[in-house]
Structure 1
Amino acid sequence: MIDAARSASLSASRARGRMIEHLRKLKIGDEAVLDAMNRVPRHAFVEEALASRAYEDTALPLGFQQTISQPFVVARMLELLVAGGRPLGKTLEVGTGCGYQAAVLSCMASDVYSMERIAKLLDRARANLRPLKIPNIRLKHGDGSLGLPEIAPFDTIILAAAGNAVPPALLKQLAPGGRMVMPLGSTHQVILLIEHGLNGGFKETRLDAVRFVPLLPGTE
């Protein structure tokens, strides 16, 4: 049993290494981002039947009409947030899903507050994260578009679901000098980077085409 477990761990490590090399070929060059993604066992966050596909560069279903994001998209969004050597600092994630991205964020952020509107999916994320014993992640059940005003401001905000507009509550919770990244749109979605100027005002930059589940209001 020990040899089998060691073999499985080694196999996952090799698969993760291949994923990182694939991301390098796609021009993901931030070493902190690559290191964070290399440290998190993505296979631990997907259904057992899909574990063999965990390190493919593709989104995978989680149930509840949700998906775990494609590794390249996770890396791309993180790279935008830390460009120029900027630290993530205190981070709000909207859309916990299975907990994978929160785990990656925890390797780079001082604190991660992750919100999920689907209670049963949040329970699954807690179960996935528990064995990793990550001290700086806090999971919250709630409407992510409303954020966490009692904990704001946040240095970084990242959304894992696409809105048709930027949630006003999240803009208010973004600290001066902070960055927010989110998928924007319905039929045609793009990555939107929002930078909050130190003297006020927001700069928006529209980037890569992506495909995410929609950002929905309320909880269930």
Structure 2
Amino acid sequence: MVSELQERDARRFIANVPDMMSGSPPGDPVPGLGAIDGTDSSGTVYCVVDLGGNLLEVGISDGWWDAVGPRGVAAAVLASLRFARDKAGLARMVLNHHGRSAAVPASAYRIPSSTGTHEELPPYDAPNFPEELGRKLERAARTLAKAERFARERDSGARRELTGPRGLFRVEVSGSAVMGATVNEQGLGPGDGAELAADAREVLLAARRRFDAMGEL
């Protein structure tokens, strides 16, 4: 459910997109749309995404402890991320409506494939042909096994928990979707917002990198 604060923010943002477009020639990126922020209903937790909805930053402002508390902050992070992505989607719709390119950046979470470069085989009568062919077949078998593992995990519906490097923020994932989040409340205090936000960002990016890596074959 969208709060009154979020509704006002979305209306103001969409109304400003045409003005943003006027400052750049057609075909050029629109200034201001490279970092789109979204807040939770309390206004104390926010996320920043690019035009494609890729997470850039997580922020937890002063006052979060009283506004959402340690038991509500994890849900607030996910809510702010959804809202930021909704705003990015609305911006793409406005760009398309005005005939401007809404091409989104490549995912910031992609990592190099573990299969290496695709080198050509030597001539079949070359002395090293059997050895190189064997290497190719081994790489193909590893890639196939990786694809099968990815498909099984994606389709199984099984849930898995990932924890941030500071041990503060945990997300539950199923396939490539984040299903929920919790925080480690032990020892957590009002002054830990910045550390908590950094941990949330890292584990959310790690969740995305994990599935991008499995899917990049």
What interval of TM-score do these two structures reach, taking the shorter chain for normalisation?
A: under 0.3
Q: Which has the higher strand share?
A: 1
Instruction: Give the number of the structure whose alpha-carbon radius of gyration is greater.
Output: 2
User: Could you state the TM-score of these two structures normalised by the residue count of structure 1?
Assistant: 0.24
Q: Which has the higher helix share?
A: 2
Q: Which has the higher contact order (CA 8 A, sep 6+)?
A: 2
